[in-house]
Structure 1
Amino acid sequence: MSALRHTTRFPSADAEVVGALGFAPGRYGVAPRRLPDWTRRQIPDPGFDFVVGMTSGVRVALTTRASVIELELAVIGIAPGAPALVELVVDGELRATVSIPADEQTLLAADGSPTQERPPTRVSFDVARTENRASSVELWLPHTAAVELVALRADASFAPSRDGRPIWLHHGSSISQCGEASAPTRTWPAIAAALGGVSLRSLGFSGNAVGDPFVARTIRDHPADAISIEIGINVVNGDLMRRRAFGPILHGVLDTIREGHPTTPLMVLGPIPCPSLESMPGPTVIDPTTGQAASAGNVRELDRGAMSLGTVRQVLHEVLSSRSDDPFLFALDGRELLPETEIGDLDDGLHPNAAAYERMGRRFADHAFAPGGPFSPSAAPRP
């Protein structure tokens, strides 16, 4: 192996961490976060705070002639733990995947206390370059864990990425964070972004796509050439609001985004199927005997304004219909990404499995990025 004489520690001016909107100081390095630092005091609970630090869609991006690259990082997972993957993409092509086993990770219990502590580990990649020119290199970080970035080393100099692709910013639930995907580059937003030729910014927050104002302001203030929001399932999962509140909150989210992106194509995605919640209100529980999602709600509460997924879809239709004067606003029923005929791929009755995410990514790209689609240059009239 060539000597790795070129090195930088994070945070670094020599390598971009794409998708990280903030950083928290860690024990060994810095922890990328998918929301800005100013949001931390507004995040309502430690679970959501941890999810923001999970690196779904986040990657270290650089331009280099290096043949060998090494990333030093500490991985923080949830006990009992599972392998965490880091993937190498060179000039848009997946070249390698490295698995960091659970016994090399710091593992946290549900209450956030450590059950196992481990120091940083190093993952090394052979870039396998075939031409004597600088390559665009991305190291996609684990989509199932949080990390601390410590250092980057290579056998040639490197600089931040010069990625000129349009930016697609997507916000959603666990069904957008995609913990069940087979690899960081195989979440459905990552697949769709690759097919659409855009650079993904992933704000998929497991359990927490509920119209939080600080998320809307983050989207408002972030550069974007296309924006999408997947919303509805978490509103029902947590039994967080009644129909009376959901419509105005959604209007408020859209109004806030439009303050910063008045003519950016903006798509609202409704929920994919979830059999136990289609006509029942939340909250959602997991049956300990079957491992399947189930409603713990009372159907009579629907008459008092409680939300089922059917109710969510009605409100989405009402809100978007009332904003028909916005030519850059689009709707997509989540059942077009995952039809009801494919609910067998909801292994727990709620989350798609890896094969389903693959199909969802291709379907979204076919819908949104195809010529004449909502995110194509000809999607809407320009002023």
Structure 2
Amino acid sequence: MENIATKVKITKASSSKLSSVDFSNLTFGKVFTDHMMVCDYKDGSWQTPEIVPYGPLQMYPSAKVFHYGQAVFEGMKAYKDDEDKVWLFRPEQNFERINKSSKRLAIPEFPKGHFFNGLEELLKLDKEWIQKGFGNSMYLRPFVIATEPGVSASTSSEYKFMILCSPAQSYYSGEVRVKVSEDYSRAADGGVGFAKAAGNYGAQFFPTDIANSEGYQQIIWTDANTHEYLEEAGTMNLFFRIGDKLVTAPISDRILDGVTRKSIIDLAKDANIDVEIRRIKVAELIEAANAGELKEIFGSGTATVVTPILGFGYKGEKYELPKIEDSYAKSFKDQLLKIQYNQAEDKFGWRYEVK
């Protein structure tokens, strides 16, 4: 992957917080490394990327992000292998997607050289924060916010692009069961569901809280028009194993084009598993469960990698999935982790070394 040379200004932290972190007891997204990347858009162009000590921002309360929600983000991970080499997993997909999200929210697209050179310099500076071993990683949060002061209902003329680094372990722990939504939707046709817009996630908290109170960890969203079709689960794309077929919903302007999702589809096809990318009705899911043909449901995403779902609820009924030995979810997760941690052949060319 070739990137246009981009100068990155670096200001190192005076001291490191590394020794104070308990890496065996991390809460996802709560601990951040010593540095962050910052780049401002002003006067019609993106400025020189900077790496600075992690810390608070100074912004006007009238900054447009607070009033009109021009904010998009990405989720990525960096991994360290047994030889202390640092790897990214399909980072160009994240770069392309954050610009796709930005375009939908009328945010200027970010230059490729700024993104990759800034990210690599940041990771090299905070390399010691990346722990070895399956499940350990560095979660990366690129995001863009509108910073121009003013409450007029119009696009901003100033933006801030940033990348934060947070050491991570496994995202979900324990058993995961989901509630199929009968009333709420994550996104609608013609909207911003395909984009990683901050508002998409803010709007899902209330119905998710309701599901949590009923004993479910997440929601399976259904389509906004009829609530008959299954779409995503919380922050994850979804897969259903019906018989030995693997079924997943097609991407659309409502469904996020997940990097892990498309990787699982490629792994399944490579293993000669029958993959169907099509719309799936709630009624089909229940029929398959009642007939004993629904063998697995699992979610996929950068933070989660692959998360098995043990059961689901719909219209007051609860459905439990069988425990099986030849789990697709377990196999895909193992294959992905081995590629990500440089422990297996990367026949797809997904690994990207940070040199």
* Same fold, TM-score > 0.5, yes or no: no
Higher helix residue share: 1
Question: Which TM-score bucket, shorter chain as reference?
Answer: under 0.3
TM-score with structure 1 setting the length: 0.23
* Bigger relative CO (Cα 8 Å, ≥ 6 apart): 2
* TM-score, reference length from structure 2: 0.25
